[in-house]
Amino acid sequence: MKALRVHTFATPAPWQLDDIPRDDPGPGQVRVRIVAAGISLVDQLRAEGKYQIKPALPYIGGSEYSGIVEAVGSDVPGTLSVGDRVAGLHHGIWAESACMPYQACHRLGPVDDALLVESALVAMPYATALYALDLRGHLKAGETVFVLGAMGGVGHAAMQTAKALGARVIAGATTAARREAALQDGADAVVDTGVADWKDALKSAAGPGGVDVVVDPVGGAATEMAFRALGWGGRLLVIGFAAGAIGKLPANLALLKGAAMVGVDLRAFGEREPEAMQSVRERVFALHASGRVRPRIGLQVPADDYARAFAATRDPGTQGRVVLRFGGAS
């Protein structure tokens, strides 16, 4: 079968579409025929050797997937069967098939092909958003949320999840096209974060009470600017550093605002609290099934055209997520 692998860490990652054997599932595993897979910043950093955990080489990329169960190993509960449509998170899924623990599969039910492809983009960004906003940010209905990088994967998920939780959402984006897309996808207001000093525009959009929760997957200088727009008791949720630099804060800002910076690490949460993680995953797939959250797909690319897919993820003109397709759903 075909698999996208790297044999050495470099920037950009030197991907190769290799022929490798198709494994049989072991005890407690299923083999999934991969239909669609997301491309995230973490996937790219890991392949370049820049993530905090370095995989053994050669390394099959990818972590967000949807597909169809094609083989079931021993000791797998009867809740999963050959032919089931599934989605979830598991490393090493940029391949025509992947063996994984059955716990890494969320059974979707009878979704159509379009929703099956969308489902590849639910488990990671929407679970991150729900964990951040609900369990870490303690978001209440009626509060105001500001999302940095609102048309990135996690930012877009946070924007929609905050709306589903009853919040008012202000979206930050650097281009007019992305701000318009954010409004189309549920934002109540937008702020141009491409200008030098957008803090006053954010304060004006937030109103006299300020921002209650900031979702920050961007980092860099944006972190302090967003923190300054927080109202009393506000929370800034640190998710990542897409800007390439770690944000820094004068400690007196937290004191003056009674505000908090809160770390959000979905991987560590899943490792330390697997049952709570399972609950979060079920909640986000339920939100997707109900239509309350919908990933925006900007481009779908066959896996053998992977260079185009990776270029599109770096292109600020791409509106939405890029999806690698490894085969038809039917």
* Encoded tokens for 312: 């599109």
Question: pLDDT truncated to tens, each residue of the chain (330 aa)?
Answer: 999 999 999 888 899 999 999 999 999 999 999 999 999 888 888 888 887 778 889 989 999 999 999 999 999 988 899 999 999 999 999 999 999 999 999 999 888 899 999 999 999 999 999 999 999 999 999 999 999 999 989 999 999 999 999 999 999 999 999 999 999 999 999 999 999 889 999 999 999 999 999 999 999 999 999 999 999 999 999 999 888 889 999 999 999 999 999 999 998 999 999 999 999 999 999 999 999 999 999 999 999 999 999 988 888 778 889 999 997 655
Cβ(116)–Cβ(66) under 8 Å? yes
Concatenated DSSP letters for 259-287?
-EEEE--HHHHHHH-HHHHHHHHHHHHHH
Cβ(23)–Cβ(74) under 8 Å? no
Alpha carbon 281 to chain centroid distance?
Answer: 12
3-state secondary structure of 129: helix
* Encoded tokens for 43: 């996937």
Q: Looking at residue 226, what is its pLDDT?
A: 96
Q: Looking at residue 246, what is its pLDDT?
A: 92
At residue 72, what is the residue type?
A: V
Q: Looking at residue 329, what is its pLDDT?
A: 55
Cβ(270)–Cβ(278) under 8 Å? no
> Would you give the end-to-end CA distance of the chain in angstroms?
18
Concatenated DSSP letters for 144-180?
EEEETTTTSHHHHHHHHHHHHTT-EEEEEESSHHHHH
3-state secondary structure of 98: strand
Q: Specify the residue for token string 């790219």.
A: 44
d(CA 247, CA 229): 15
d(CA 164, CA 167): 7
Q: Looking at residue 307, what is its pLDDT?
A: 92
Cβ(306)–Cβ(330) under 8 Å? no
Q: Looking at residue 243, what is its pLDDT?
A: 85
Q: Specify the residue for token string 């897979």.
A: 37
d(CA 53, CA 45): 10
The two counts, helices (H) then strands (E), for the chain are 11, 16
Q: Looking at residue 56, what is its pLDDT?
A: 87
Domains, the chain, in order of start with CATH, read 2-121+295-325 (3.90.180.10), 124-268 (3.40.50.720)
Cβ(174)–Cβ(193) under 8 Å? yes
